[in-house]
Structure 1
Amino acid sequence: MSDKKLSKRKRKFPTGVLYLLPALVLFSVFLFYPMFKTLYLSFFLTDTKGDPVFFNGIQNYVEIFQSKEFLLSLKASILFVLYTVIPTIIISLFLAVLANEKLRGSQFFRVAFSSTLGVSSAAAAVIWLFLFDPSIGFVNNMLGVFGIQGIGWVTDKSWALFSVSVTTIWMHLGFNFIILLGGLQSIPEDLYESSKIDGAGFLQQFRNITIPMLSPTLFFVIVVAVINAFQSFGQIDIMTKGGPAGATNLIVYSIYQDAFVNNYVGSASAQAMVLFFIILLFTLLQFKYGERKVHYQ
């Protein structure tokens, strides 16, 4: 690179920094500072106000990994991710493919399928609490029609995590549907027309055209879905409050309990850092192994 070009870039550098300064300030205040503060507090015992009073080293981390409650919440979190991410992607993809077909009334179904995007986690939790109500809930009433005994969906530890997972799947369908539908509509139509001339059926087109061309969108949706699943909180707090018997006590809810109910801010900070590295690990693994199967045009 010539000295003239290098000098020109140096002159433009302060201008670039000024353009980025508002974003850097926001990230520093709302992302970087809280993250480093959490890391700092994770090495201390704290008072009821959350102020550090005694340096505890890595003892907070040792104690949480020796805690049966934390290990149970870790197991519940991983199960919750498995219960929600895979069904959400499959159902969203099915609805997106259906809505992408040139059928009468497809506009109505696009609006209907994406409507959950406008529903908050609190509203969704209340709706599904009524549906899962053991006495007047629609789900148990339908089971009664077929002679099946009602289930304590949010009070039975065998069903509570499943019930919250169903609520979460319903909540996330709208976002995933919109993203996948946008990806489907970006696939060139002439690819399908050429395959029809060659005699390819719907399943062959779906396997050999739709999935490869949609793979970048699917990869994005899967990464975001995994992160969102690990961070789920609202529906847990309203529907089960981590119960029964810790069956739905996900790591995020455990952090909330320790930090704002039990005032163990140091332990909560250590759990938050563990959750951060778990999400980071899952994301890196997806980029390392999942991105290999992504077909970029």
Structure 2
Amino acid sequence: MKTDTLPPKRTSANKKKWKNLGVGLLYLSPALIITGIFLFYPMFRTLYLSFFVTNAGGTPVSFIGFENYTMLWESATFRTSMSATFLFALYTVPTTIIISLFLAVITNEKVKGIPFFRVVFSSTLGVSVAAGATIWLLLFHPSLGVLNNLLNAVGLSGVQWLTSPNVALISVAITTIWMNIGFNFIVLLGGLQNISEELYESAKIDGAGYWTQLFKITIPLLSPTLFFVSVVTIINSFQTFGQIDILTGGGPSNSTNLIVYSIFREAFYNGYFGYASAQAIILFLLVLIFTFIQFKVGEKKVHYQ
């Protein structure tokens, strides 16, 4: 006679599986709770607010659907912010990676005194955004700044680094490049030091010169690290805030009003939390799209050992 009861062994195995799941979730619960409170809740709250008009305290007042997104589409100020954001990423991402790679390659050589230069090149990693921006604020000063004094010394007129709409974004980009070099340099140097010396020795025996080794061995084997650095640098470029706030405050004429700073200004200066939330969702989608493209296109060119 057939019965619907499970065999004892299968029943005990299922109980053990559920027990292990419960124990695993118990250990993970602190991390899950923290992630839920500080990551998922703000994200869903932002999406929720983007469909509402809010009061000055951020409390939803009336549901307006996609009207905030429609206003963004029609806003010339928002289009200027988007344009400035893309230009800023174009200025900072390739330049930061190229300079960091160059510094990592030259400091990977076995030369006496190289550890000192490694410390110097990575030192910006220990400088906060506020401190770094303040340093460059002094350098960019129109009359007391070192940069204009150097230009005057060679007979050139000074530049309005932070007050000219044509130069301000470039000035902020220079500051950002300087601050990001330290992290990228350390990551790329670590990747270079993981490449086996035997490959270079074999290449030398075969008659390969320095440049052949660089483009046939170093760059291909460093591609996973370069891919990681490029993804992180692009994301950071879209999230730049501190140096904008200290150096230019989004001006002049909104030329440095990147989308992150626009979100901050609309929410905390103007009190339009719903409008700012819509911008935040668009920024999230932009970062998601760029990251997806990098993984779909860039990862195909990565050579894993």
The correspondence for 2:185, drawn from 171, 174, 177, is: 177
Corresponding residue number in structure 2 for 1:256? 264
Whether 2:128 is the aligned partner of 1:147: answer no
The correspondence for 1:166, drawn from 171, 174, 193, is: 174
Corresponding residue number in structure 1 for 2:50? 42
Corresponding residue number in structure 2 for 1:114? 122
Separation in 2 of the partners of 1:24 and 1:77?
A: 33
- CA root-mean-square deviation: 1.1
Whether 2:282 is the aligned partner of 1:282: answer no
Paired-residue identity, % = 60
Report the TM-score, using the length of structure 2 for normalisation: 0.95
Separation in 2 of the partners of 1:20 and 1:192?
A: 45
Whether 2:87 is the aligned partner of 1:87: answer no
Q: State how 1:37-76 maps to structure 2 within 5 Å.
A: 37-76=45-84
Separation in 1 of the partners of 2:119 and 2:221?
A: 24
Corresponding residue number in structure 2 for 1:137? 145
Separation in 1 of the partners of 2:188 and 2:235?
A: 18
User: Structure 1, unaligned stretches of length 5 or more?
Assistant: none
Separation in 2 of the partners of 1:249 and 1:190?
A: 50
Corresponding residue number in structure 1 for 2:4? none
How far the C-alpha of 1:5 sits from its partner, in A, is 5.8
Corresponding residue number in structure 2 for 1:127? 135
How far the C-alpha of 1:10 sits from its partner, in A, is 3.0
Corresponding residue number in structure 2 for 1:99? 107
Question: Any idea what the Cα deviations from partners look like across 1:87-109, whole Å, max 9, x if unmatched?
Answer: 00000000011111101111111
Q: Which SS does the other structure have where 2:62 is aligned? A: strand
Question: Any idea what the Cα deviations from partners look like across 1:256-284, whole Å, max 9, x if unmatched?
Answer: 00000000000000000000000000000
Whether 2:233 is the aligned partner of 1:225: answer yes
Separation in 1 of the partners of 2:91 and 2:212?
A: 29
Report the TM-score, using the length of structure 1 for normalisation: 0.98
Q: Which SS does the other structure have where 1:148 is aligned? A: coil
Which residue identity lines up with residue 95 of structure 2 in the other structure?
A: P
Which residue identity lines up with residue 13 of structure 1 in the other structure?
A: L
Corresponding residue number in structure 2 for 1:207? 215
How far the C-alpha of 1:146 sits from its partner, in A, is 1.8
How far the C-alpha of 1:8 sits from its partner, in A, is 4.0
Separation in 2 of the partners of 1:7 and 1:148?
A: 80
The correspondence for 1:186, drawn from 185, 194, 199, is: 194
Separation in 2 of the partners of 1:109 and 1:17?
A: 47
Which residue identity lines up with residue 151 of structure 2 in the other structure?
A: L
Separation in 2 of the partners of 1:169 and 1:156?
A: 20
How many residue pairs match? The answer is 296
Structure with max Cα Rg: 2
How far the C-alpha of 1:6 sits from its partner, in A, is 5.5
Structure 1 moving runs of 4+ over 2 Å? 2-11
How far the C-alpha of 1:21 sits from its partner, in A, is 1.1
Separation in 2 of the partners of 1:113 and 1:264?
A: 42
> Is 136-145 or 31-40 further displaced after alignment?
136-145
> Is 2-11 or 59-68 further displaced after alignment?
2-11
Separation in 2 of the partners of 1:22 and 1:190?
A: 46
How far the C-alpha of 1:44 sits from its partner, in A, is 0.1
Separation in 2 of the partners of 1:35 and 1:258?
A: 18
Whether 2:303 is the aligned partner of 1:295: answer yes
How far the C-alpha of 1:11 sits from its partner, in A, is 2.8
